[in-house]
Amino acid sequence: MVAIAAAAATRRPVDPLLPRHLSERRRAGVASAVARGLAVPVDQQPQIPLRINRRVTDAEHKRFLEFQKRRDARAHEMGIDPTMIGSRATLFDLARSWARHSGELMNWQGELLKP
């Protein structure tokens, strides 16, 4: 599939890349899908999301460690895996901004992690 997409993006023929056992109907379906995809205007094509990585401040790291300690203690009390309460990425998001990211949690997760 990746080779077909790369060939289509560079306007090379995709037919030689298709498995030999594909029926003519399926080959036509792939050709039609490629043509429809290439016809999408540039402004309507999906964009690769840019991920901006920034360094964690000392204060954010301290809050992360507090969330992690609270999460691990609650998970131990409940006998569950700590990541069920919140993943490492979730804890970092909350450490950056509780107000902005706490709404992404389920109510019970928020109650367990609430500062």
58, 57, 63: which is closest to 114 by C-alpha?
A: 63
DSSP state, residue 80: S
pLDDT in tens, 46-62: 888 787 778 889 999 99
> Along the 115 residues of the chain, how does pLDDT read in single tens digits?
899 999 998 999 999 999 999 999 999 999 999 999 999 998 998 888 787 778 889 999 999 999 999 999 999 999 999 999 999 999 999 999 999 999 999 999 999 998 8
pLDDT of amino acid 111: 94
φ, ψ of residue 51 to 5 degrees: the values are -100, 120
What is the value of pTM for the model shown? 0.55
Output the six-digit token pair for 68. Answer: 């992690």
Query: 112 with 74: CB under 8 angstroms?
Result: yes
